[in-house]
Amino acid sequence: MTLDEFKTQCAALAAEAPARVDAAASLDDWTAVRNDLVGRAAGRLTAIMSTLGTLPPEARREAGQLANAVKVEIERLLDARRDALAAAAPSGPRLDRTMPARAAWRGARHPVTLVIDEICGIFRELGFTIALGPEAEHEWYNFGALNFPDDHPAMDMHDTLYLGEGALLRTHTSPVQVRTMQAYPPPIRVLAPGNVYRRDFFDATHAPAFAQLEGLAVDEGISFVDLKATLNEFARRFYGGTRRTRFGPSFFPFTEPSAQMDVEIDLGDGRGTRWVEILGCGMVHPAVLESAGLDSTKYTGWAFGMGPGRIAMSRHGLPDIRLLYDSDVRFLEQFAE
């Protein structure tokens, strides 16, 4: 083939192409036209270009450029036509887009876990890490190390499930305080979430096993002001910045001074507000520091404890705590992510 013949063929194709492309009335037509003109397998341009090798070497460059220009032009026409056809084509019968997406089971964190994770997240931002301890615990860690006098009425607040002599199911997460202080030197800033046990029968508001969350900060010079400021900062992030808090007297054998923190909860619907106790707290009792072998004249600390289950019940409007334990899939699915 000569260069002239090659040019002629290209020109013929270029001249014919606009009418052919315009004539395509559907996407199927369009596909056929495209395959005929520029298809890789049987396209006419492809056939023309396959003759490049038969041209004299000095003509190939010019011929190649020409063929490529024709290809670019035809593809431009094809793209425009396809867009026009696609815009005009009614797609309804093929894909009824009102029908539901393919379904997959959705997973969910337990509502109590959601609360724990949120609280841990906030205290993480404030520089706390997570500590854990066993649920089956030595009596000493649960009571003795925490300054509970032997056989004292303070124990009545902890109706205990015993496993044997000196062994029990921990009644609070506070044993983790002592374990942590024994294992790591101050400064300590930890949060200890976990399950605790009381000898309470299941009813609408009680359960024999429930989640608790403990916080502990120990260092030189830690004061009640640090306790207040940190817990207030937590409350601002957890409940929203405008929520008021207050601190009142309380009693725990392992803190002195002891306090409770209340948050003002909006009842909604213009029904005003109500103060709700959300946590107990206080300065770590020097006897507790001494239990862990720390010098109580050098170190001070503060601690708090709260119940994520109660918060979950109040924020989700749960009328009965047993919903949290029954594990009804229809309940858990309501918290799907």
Partner 1 sequence: MNASYDWLSAFVAHGRTPEQLGELIGRHVATLDGIERLRADLVPFVVGRVVETEKIPETKLSFNKVDDGSGTLLEVVCGAPNVTAGKVYPFARTGTLMPAGITIEKRKIRGFTSNGMLCSARELGLGTEHDGILELDTDAAPGTPLLDVLPIGDVRLEIDVLANRPDLLSHRGMAREVAVLTGAPLRTPAELGAPLAGAATVVGAAHATSGAVQVRVDDLDGCPAYMAVAIRGVTVGPSPDWLARRVESVVGRSINNVVDATNYLLHGYGQPMHAFDLGTLAQQTIIVRKAKPGEAIVTLDGVTRTLTPSMTVIADGARAVAVAGVMGGRDSEVTAATTDILLEVAYFAPRGVRATRRALGLNTDASYRYERGTDPRALEETLRIAASLIVAVAGGRVDGAPIHVGRAADAFAAPAVPLSRARLRTVLGTDVPPADVQRRLGSIGFSVRGTDDGWQATPPSWRVDVSRDVDLIEDVARLIGYDALPDELRPQRPGTVPDHPLHVTAQRVRDALVGAGLLEARPSPFVKGSDETHVRVANPLADDEPHLRTSLLETLARRAEYNLTRKQRAVRLFEIGSAFAKASGVLPKEEVRVGVLLMGARRPVHFTEPAPPDVDAWDAKAVGELVAAAGFPGARVKLEAADTGEPDGVLWRIVVEGTPRGVVRTVALDAPVWAASAFGVELTLGVLPSAFVADKGTHAHAEERTPPKRHFVQYAPLPVMEAAQFDLALLVADEMPAAEVERVIRRNSGDLLESLLLFDEFRGTGVPAGKRSLAWRLTFRHPERTLRDKEIDGRRSQLLKTLEKELGVIPRST
**Segment 148 to 177, residues that bind partner 1, using CB under 8 A:** 151-154, 156-157, 161-167, 169
286 sits near partner 1 (criterion: CB under 8 A): yes
Backbone angles phi, psi at 93, to 5 degrees: -60, -25
Task: Provide the minimum distance between the beta carbon of 8 and partner 1 in the complex, in angstroms, as a whole number.
Answer: 40
311 sits near partner 1 (criterion: CB under 8 A): no
Residue of 73, 264, 266, 290 interacting with partner 1 (CB under 8 A): 290
Query: How far is Cα of residue 129 from the mean position of the Cα atoms in its chain?
Result: 18
Q: How many residues bind partner 1 (CB under 8 A)?
A: 110
- Determine contact, residues 223/255, Cβ cutoff 8 Å: no
10 sits near partner 1 (criterion: CB under 8 A): no
Residue of 27, 52, 59, 209 interacting with partner 1 (CB under 8 A): 209
Task: Provide the minimum distance between the beta carbon of 196 and partner 1 in the complex, in angstroms, as a whole number.
Answer: 12
**Residues 6+ away with beta carbon under 8 Å from 184:** none
11 sits near partner 1 (criterion: CB under 8 A): no
How many Cα atoms within 13 Å fall on the side-chain side of residue 2?
Answer: 3
The stretch among 31-39, 50-58, 63-71, 285-293 that binds partner 1 (CB under 8 A) is 285-293
**Alpha carbons 270 and 273: distance in angstroms, whole number:** 9
The stretch among 19-27, 59-67, 85-93, 241-249 that binds partner 1 (CB under 8 A) is 241-249
**Alpha carbons 53 and 55: distance in angstroms, whole number:** 6
Q: What is the sign of the dihedral through the CA atoms of 194, 212, 254 and 300? A: positive
208 sits near partner 1 (criterion: CB under 8 A): yes
236 sits near partner 1 (criterion: CB under 8 A): no
- Binding pattern for the stretch 76-105 against partner 1, x by CB under 8 A and - elsewhere: -----------------------xx-xxxx
Task: Provide the minimum distance between the beta carbon of 40 and partner 1 in the complex, in angstroms, as a whole number.
Answer: 20
145 sits near partner 1 (criterion: CB under 8 A): yes
- In 39-94, where does DSSP find H-type helix? 44-49, 57-88
Other CB atoms within 10 A of residue 199 CB? 12
**Alpha carbons 308 and 214: distance in angstroms, whole number:** 11
Task: Answer whether the bond into residue 149 is a cis peptide, omega within 30°.
Answer: no
225 sits near partner 1 (criterion: CB under 8 A): yes
Residue of 127, 205, 273, 276 interacting with partner 1 (CB under 8 A): 127
**Alpha carbons 73 and 66: distance in angstroms, whole number:** 11
188 sits near partner 1 (criterion: CB under 8 A): yes
